[in-house]
Amino acid sequence: MLKSISHIKNKTYVGYSTNYKKRLTKHNKGIGAKSTKGYKWVLVYKKLFLIKSKALKYEYHLKKNRKRRLTILQEYHESKS
């Protein structure tokens, strides 16, 4: 999960990738998902799956679960304190 760092409002982005570092770089260059353009991003959460279908299923559920995303953000901020 990514968190925007260039705007006042915390915006999150959830997506599947086989290479999260490359994907993050692309998002920060304005290449990739439409919803990420115009923002700078930082990685706040990642989870490894060995089976793609399980990763996509988890991605779908995390996208739909705003409460879980907010918990992840809170944990991220606490780890930085």
What is the predicted pLDDT for the residue at 12?
92
Residue-wise pLDDT for 12-30, tens only, equals 999 999 999 999 999 999 8
What is the predicted pLDDT for the residue at 33?
80
Question: Structure pTM?
Answer: 0.86
What is the predicted pLDDT for the residue at 2?
94
Structural domain of 56: 2-80
Domain count, the chain: 1
Q: Given a cut of 90, is residue 6 above it in pLDDT?
A: no
Residue-by-residue DSSP string for the chain: -EEE-SSSS--EE----S-HHHHHHHHHTT-S-GGGTT--EEE------SSHHHHHHHHHHHHH-HHHHHHHHHHHHHHH-
Q: Given a cut of 80, is residue 8 above it in pLDDT?
A: no
What is the predicted pLDDT for the residue at 32?
79
